[in-house]
Structure 1
């Protein structure tokens, strides 16, 4: 395996989903943060959407992107809290083939440094389905910055060592191939 200094950057095609009953593209600050961060890092915005806090609508949007060969990863923002309308996590988990438990752990470690015990009110999560990475972040711009700057900017960069999500992308669906 070559070292990080000799690896070429590999842009990832990322869709951004905002889950909200009240936001529009004009006032979606959290979605804007994610788009700014991912494009600033050299990745491409594959698509962007806003859906209401409804498990079926969220899961349907995720499934559409999972089926789209032009989408490598989805980052959602919003709906990860504890209130009755916070159903993003349930929607995400309903489509996961594998959950990435360490994502929540890493997010809480980063969040702890900033908001201490209030981090327990977040249910940030991640998983993989159909060869597509799915990440669910809280709905605040600060939480989106923390999730991107602390985790995703590194794990979605092929040059990040000792390992990253990009280098295993070709193997995410190897279980579907016949031997």
Structure 2
């Protein structure tokens, strides 16, 4: 079972939050606010926060901009992961990924099943890595953001989490680009 090693020092992660919505403004963005509140409460740094429309190219361009920014270690997007015609966040993420973290969506589905039953099949939460930056796409509901943060991200973005976590391998994400 997982646990926190209190002998290790906490390492804050610089996280950008992206809300994908055609209709929300910052003051109406409950899901983005949930993520901001949780990451700050955990001791992480909010690197940036934006809202953009459900446009695949715009989403991918914003993800690429944050991947290129050395002040961003991880990006969490919320919204646009469903099945409707305007839901293109997953496709935009996959346009950017160098590697997909397939188990992220699976674990999210397991957590969601406990809360919303078979309706969890309608979510396409995903995770991946590009340019040494972690990218996660979550559904647009505050509940889904809470579930993903509390059930996965709070632990995987904590360097002290055992037996392993995303933070400890961050320095190695780009090792394939080093000269041999």
TM-score under structure 1 normalisation?
Answer: 0.98
Q: C-alpha distance in 2, partners of 1:5/1:121?
A: 38
2:10 paired residue number: 9
1:24 paired residue number: 25
2:91 paired residue number: 90
1:167 paired residue number: 168
Q: C-alpha distance in 1, partners of 2:11/2:170?
A: 11
Q: CA RMSD in A?
A: 0.7
1:132 paired residue number: 133
TM-score under structure 2 normalisation?
Answer: 0.98
1:45 paired residue number: 46
Q: Aligned to 1:82, what secondary structure does the other structure show?
A: coil
- Give the length in aligned residue pairs: 177
- Structure 1: which 5+ runs fail to align? none
1:146 paired residue number: 147
Q: Aligned to 1:74, what secondary structure does the other structure show?
A: strand
2:80 paired residue number: 79
- Structure 2: which 5+ runs fail to align? none
Q: C-alpha distance in 2, partners of 1:151/1:103?
A: 8
- Deviation, structure 1 residue 5: 2.1
Q: C-alpha distance in 1, partners of 2:106/2:90?
A: 15
Q: C-alpha distance in 2, partners of 1:49/1:67?
A: 16
Residues 65-113 of structure 1: CA deviation (Å, up to 9, x unaligned): 0000000000000000000000000000000000000100110000000
Displacement over 3 Å in runs of 4+:
none
Q: C-alpha distance in 1, partners of 2:6/2:95?
A: 39
1:66 paired residue number: 67
Q: Aligned to 1:48, what secondary structure does the other structure show?
A: strand
